[in-house]
Structure 1
Amino acid sequence: MVKMPQRQRHNTGGGAGGAELPLLDPGVIEAHNAVTTVRCCVPLACGCLRGYEPINLDSPTGCVRVHCNNEHCTVGNLMHGECFSAWETHVLAFLRSCGRARSWSEKQRLQNLWTKRGYDLAYRACSCLCSRGHLRKDLDWTPPTESDDENRTKKKKKNRQSQKPTLVTVGTGAINNNNPNTSNNNTVISLSTTPTGEIPGQPCQRHRNNSISSTGSSPPSDAPTSPHHAALAKRRSRDFFTDRTRHGSGGSGMFARRPDFSSFNALPRHKINSYHIKMEDDGLHGNDDTRCFILSTLAAQRTSRTACVLCHQALLVFDRYPLLDGTFFLTPIQHAKAAIPVRVEGRQQYLAAVCMGCLEGWSVSLRCAYCSARWNGSALILGTMYSFDIFAAMPCCESRLKCSKCEAVVIPPDQRLSFFSDYSRTHACPSCGHVDHHFVKPLSSFIRDDKQSW
């Protein structure tokens, strides 16, 4: 009776230069015999849900390694390359609004993002899924390349060939190499087993070291990829990056994609252009600060719609510019119930919207209740957001410059402030000293031509 050597399974972490990977929680590890895989640790929606395979620790080609500053984190430390690119774009969008990084160029932000200079500003956008730490790219780790995988595969095949079963003779007699069964009677054949525990002479068991499924029906992971599968993987990569950019921008996938721009055909011909309609993002890969702010605010309210503060028409918000058939604006007072309260630069503001029809004067036309001057919003850019109250930006008469408490004039009518946004800020009345948003008047200070009440 021959004693068979016991097979031992080792879950070893792969990587360039034999770099060791930390132990991971069993809940995120999937082992198929000798192949160990781990889920992508990207904080956003992972591409694994869109056709990407879990990361093979024996061959993490194309992956990126990150570190969590939580010592007890069990989420993992590897991301798909596409997942990391989309997440990095999300972090860069946050960095643009941080302190001294606002004056950096895009190249400087990208160069400083994972160094101490940039990461100290952007770490708040790098929260780990463990909810107790922050992720950071491992700049010292070099992922293996496809050539490394090919060399490793060749080495495995070479080792398998050198580990073929052999026949060892004991006693006298010779063995016929062409037909071992015709050996002499005095010859005893001893079975020499391979390191995998297979018995020569028995039906060779299929190697499962590279098997994806324990049933043996799936091809090995190092099998050549057909052109059809390669094209499918490339298409999934492209589709995933487009969708992940939208998810990483704060929309959570709840906002619709605009099918066409036919709703703007009602505008005069000279306004159907990118100067009057916001068409493109100002940031990289669609991560514009204004767009991210609007979509994140609405997503927190669990709504993809808003309403015009004048005609109360429901407006659908889209995931790309132009964001709606109208324009958003921030105001220090709540003009309507549809205005959403937000905190901007430590100040209480309200996110409101006016539809295209009211801006052009088609749906609702406004006149000042003090001087009867008509309010005109046709010069505003559609599909974006203004950081000030658009009804207070251009006061038409002295009454709109008076104190909200004592009715004294805060600034002379012939004096103009430097910026439109200055009319939406607080000022101290020179007569009574009351500090308030004196120039931001309620909508009741306007008269509607349709004779409807506010």
Structure 2
Amino acid sequence: MAPRRAHGMDVVGFEGGSGYTRCCVPSGDCLRAQQQFGTNPGEDPMAIALDDLRDTVRVTCNNELCTAGRYMHRECFEQWEQTVLAYLKTCGRARSWSERQRHQNLWTKKGYDLAYKACGCKCGRGHLKKDLDWMPPPPTSNIFGRIEEMDGLNSKKKKRRNRNSKPSLTIASVGPLIDSRTRTGSLSCSSSGSSSPPASSSEPSVSPVHGSHLKKKSKIDFPERIRLTGGANGIFTRRLDFSSFNTLPKNKLNSYQIKTEDEGNHGNDDTRCFILSTLASQGRPKVHCILCEEQLLVFDRYPLIDGTFFLSPRQHAKSCIEVKVEGRTQFLTVVCMACLEGVNGRTILCRFCNQKWDGSSLILGSMYSYDIFAAMPCCTERIKCNSCYKPVLHPSQRLNFFSDYSHMVPCPHCRTLDTHFVKPLSFCFTRHMSQSSILWP
């Protein structure tokens, strides 16, 4: 049957009235066609059923007259995405990004403006972009038995999980869920518990929002490789739901903004083991935010906290825990989610230029390997020598990586070697509450 056009897509009409489109992957043939998916000689392996889009990714073309289609099989999209990432690696400022950062930034304005030339559509007149606002709708009908097959498979997996007694977390139905697909989106510092030290990171780590949107009344099954206690003697809380994150804007409820999975094999995530073993050795199942002093529970799995940890060469408060990282003394420090977002009157302002400090783009539930307050100096006062009070950098100069601002550097004037950009919070900031501004703390 000849294809018919509908809504800017190639839609194929099959007997029975079901609507289909074809995989619009622009780089070569659809993987399913190459692998000869489908045993029915009359079945098109590139076909995508419009009433069962669970295993697809939607893209948009900036050519309003495009008829090449809007959907790709997930495996086709992921392979094509790798070619775009390879192109991004050669572009401008993206050359200094890590693989993780390129993956984070690709479909946001920050990365797409550099990589769009590698995203040409099959229509030949536009460029494709992943639709970050789209989530697959639930299937509406029986598509050649596929739904029943998937249900059977899910049932088998569920029984297998029950036999193995592997834990799963049910999310509170009062809000959306965090997508727990394996990702490379969050920045984590490699770490040491009481044993091996974290590998230093020199990567910028402000995380753009990136990830799929979320469903309600679903379940997140944590990967089987994640250990129950993470070597932390079982003193930490088991997170029962993610309802504490419901206060965030909906566009932040994704697995790139909130860290949900281990990145190491068999649950040996270095960052998680470092944090939990450090706190366990101190007997601390709870920590304090250095800004508002609110007490926060520490959880045994990601997200480890309703906020973020970071390492600083300066002890900003007595609650900060001294650790050794690659032979250097650092302090494990915490900021809660409300202070990062600046809600409930928790606005933090620079004392010198009155600019707001904004931590809302930082990844929640994990740890940064540098001082997040020093990483983005807003004015000349923030880059002055701690000894002679002359600028260590030219006002228009910026270091390559956020972590560079936490390193020891020599002053070009008095030659004093110090972490000049990491200053006491009371020196840099005031807390704005209601209509008055008071000195920190």
Length-normalised TM-score, structure 1:
0.47
* Higher share in helix: 1
Q: Which has the higher contact order (CA 8 A, sep 6+)?
A: 2
